[in-house]
Every structure is written in C-alpha cells, then in structure tokens.
Amino acid sequence: MKIYRNIADFNPQKKVILTVGTFDGIHFGHQKIIDSLNKMAKEQNGESVVLTFSPHPRLVLFPENNNLKLINTLEEKIERLEKSGIDRLIIYPFTKEFSRISALEYVRDFLIKEIKVSTLIIGYDHQFGRNREGNFDYLKELSELYDFEVKEISAQDINDINVSSTKVRKAIENGDIHLANKYLGYNFSITGEVIEGKRIGNTIGFPTANLYIEDEQKIIPMTGAYAVMAKVNNKEYKAMLNIGTNPTVNSLDNISIEVHLLDFDENIYGKEVTLTFVKRLRQEVKFESLDQLKNQLRLDRNQAIQILS
C-alpha cells in the first residue's frame, strides 16, 4: 500500500476505483465497502484507492464543543487499511476551508481533476460538500456529466442492527468489549508507553506497567478489570488490565491504565506496549483491605488465564 499525504504526489497509472470516508474503526461495515472496492479494482484492472481525512472533520468543525473520542489513531487506521489489501491511501488534511467547498466543486475539482476517479464506491449514508448537500442521487447526476461510475453499498447489519463508528464507540465506553469486537470484526486495542508508577503492585505481588496514551483523542474503555493480550518487544503475553482510579490504595480521581503481564519479569520502562482487549472481567471496586484486593486479583488472574487460553 502506498500512502499519499500530498494530493499533488498522487499520479495513478491505472483506473482509480475510489472510496471516501473517515473510516474510524475500520469496522465490519467499512470492511464490506473495502472488500467491494478491492474486488472491483481487480475486475477492472484498476487500483483500489481510499481517501480519508486527518484530523477527523468533527474535530475541525466543532473544536469548542466536541468530546469526540476515536476508535483508531491515525497510525492504527493506516495499519488496518494496509491489512485490508488496498493499493493506495490518500490522507487529506481536513480544514474549514475544505469543508466550505460545494458538492459540485468537490466532485469536479477534487475527485475528477485531482484524483481522476473512474469508479466511486460509497456507503449508503454518504454525504459530502458544504452543509453535507451532496448525496448518492447527486453523485448519479454528476457521474453522467463527468463520465465516472458511482456505486452504493447498502447498510450492513449484525443481528439486524446497523454497524456504525458511533455504536462501536458506545460499546467501548460501556465496557462491552465483546459487542465492540463483534462490530469491528477484530479486537479493539490501545498502545501506550510504559511510565513510572507508584509501584504499589509490586508490594502485593502483582507488578503492573503503567501506560501513557499520547493521543488525547484515543477512546479508552470504561473503568474496570479486563483480560487482554499485551504485545511488547514483538512478543505477546497474557495479561490482566485495570482502568480506573485504584480506589483501594489511591484517594485521587485521576484515571490510570495499569497492566499486569502474566509469566513476565522484565524491566520495560519506556517501551511501547499494545493491549488487545478480549473481555471485561468486572467493574472497579474499592476493597476494605489489601488482603481483599489481593484475593480478588488472584481470581481475576485465574479468570484471565482461562479466557485467554
């Protein structure tokens, strides 16, 4: 997959089979669109091209009134798109000026002139242009004028529920990792750097790595204990994770992300760790004593081992 961050560098040699979107999460519905994109590119001896935007349009259009958290960082999105098998990825800078161009200008000057689209594949709810004035019907009109094809993918359902990035985010925020992973078609993950902590875990036999998540827009699951797989130094380990304030040993309200790697005893300060979520074990609890906490952690460890085996 070749990546373009400057549209001037994009110079297609074959027919451009294009889809457009923010693609936060690259969820089950997105994957259906991308599968159709790749299939059509192969049939037409063309190239599958994804156009996405950075930053997320809502962060630009509503900067003062926006609590949007994203399923994927840009790096995670790039990685997932590369795994999907597309040929080219255009990451276009989304600005207020860009948001103000009309639907006609967007198609004529951007998709046709700059990207040279041959076939455009869109989701059933795709809108574009100033005030989201453009839609599938408008694209059909312009396709005849500017000689390109447009195809619409219908809503993709799981158990009769439409998949959307919003529903994935809600599932993650509610700690429903099973549902989120089902929507995504893969297991949700976060990546962070191991930083110095209070080392309380060492004193109770459960040493933890404290993670710092650099991207403030990255969504963090609901507080509680989770069974996760932890990847560090290109190796994967079974692990148990706590997201929360550690109320048994901490009087502060700041949220921490602490992971205990099973069968692991290395110094990994400053290392990058990726956590892949498998299941939420329980909600966060304030125990009356450290002994009660240790007993619960033993139960959590046994449950995590069983789930991850």
Q: Is residue 169 part of a domain?
A: no
61 & 8 share domain: yes
Predicted pLDDT of residue 198: 67
Q: Are residues 68 and 124 in the same domain?
A: yes
The whole-chain average pLDDT of the chain stands at 90
3-state secondary structure the chain: CEEECCHHHCCCCCCEEEEECCCCCCCHHHHHHHHHHHHHHHHCCCEEEEEEEECCHHHHHCCCCCCCCECCCHHHHHHHHHHCCCCEEEEEECCHHHHCCCHHHHHHHHHHCCCCEEEEEEECCCCECHHHCECHHHHHHHHHHHCCEEEEECCCEECCEECCHHHHHHHHHCCCHHHHHHHHCCCCEEEEEEECCCCHHHHCCCCCEEEECCCCCECCCCCEEEEEEEEECCEEEEEEEEEECCCCCCCCCCCEEEEEECCCCCCCCCCEEEEEEEEEEECCCCCCCHHHHHHHHHHHHHHHHHHHC
40 or 247, higher pLDDT: 40
Residues 242 and 158 in one domain: no
> Does the pLDDT value for residue 247 go beyond 90?
no
Q: How far is the C-alpha of 230 from the C-alpha of 71, rounded, in Å? A: 18
Among residues 127, 162, 197, the one where a domain terminates is 162
| Residues 142 and 196 occupy one common structural domain | no
**147 and 12 co-located in one domain:** yes
DSSP classification of residue 263? T
Final residue in a domain of this structure, among 162, 197, 225 = 162
Number of domains comprising the chain = 2
246 plus 204 within the same structural domain: yes
CATH number at residue 95: 3.40.50.620
Q: What is the pLDDT of residues 50-60, one digit of tens each?
A: 999 999 999 99
Q: Confirm whether 32 is domain-assigned.
A: yes
Q: Residue 200 pLDDT > 70, yes or no? A: no
Residue 253 has a pLDDT of 62
Could you tell me which residue, 289 or 179, shows the higher pLDDT?
Answer: 179
Q: 182 lies in a domain? A: no
Q: Does 221 map to a domain? A: yes
Query: Confidence band (pLDDT; 50, 70, 90) for 202?
Result: low
pLDDT over threshold 50, residue 159:
no
Domain that holds residue 199: 187-308
The answer to whether position 168 is within a domain reads: no
pLDDT tops 70 at residue 106 = yes
In this prediction the pTM is 0.89
> Does pLDDT of 186 surpass 50?
yes
- The per-residue pLDDT for 23 is 94
Q: Do residues 206 and 158 both lie within one domain?
A: no
Same domain, 24 and 87: yes
Q: What's the pLDDT tens digit per position in 123-139?
A: 877 888 888 888 888 89
Higher pLDDT among residues 250 and 181, named by residue? 181
Among 162, 195, 223, the domain boundary falls at: 162
- 147 shares its domain with 218: no
Confidence of residue 252 (pLDDT cuts 50, 70, 90): low
Residues 121 and 244 in one domain: no
Would you say residue 151 lies in a domain?
A: yes
Average pLDDT over residues 27-38: 91
The verdict on residue 54 lying in a domain is yes
Enter the tokens of residue 195.
Answer: 């930083």
- Considering the domain architecture, whether residues 142 and 247 belong to the same structural domain is answered as no
pLDDT at 122: 87
Give me the phi and psi of 37, to 5 degrees please: -60, -50
Domain assignment present for 145: yes
14 and 155, same domain (yes or no): yes
Q: What is the arithmetic mean of pLDDT over 82-99?
A: 96
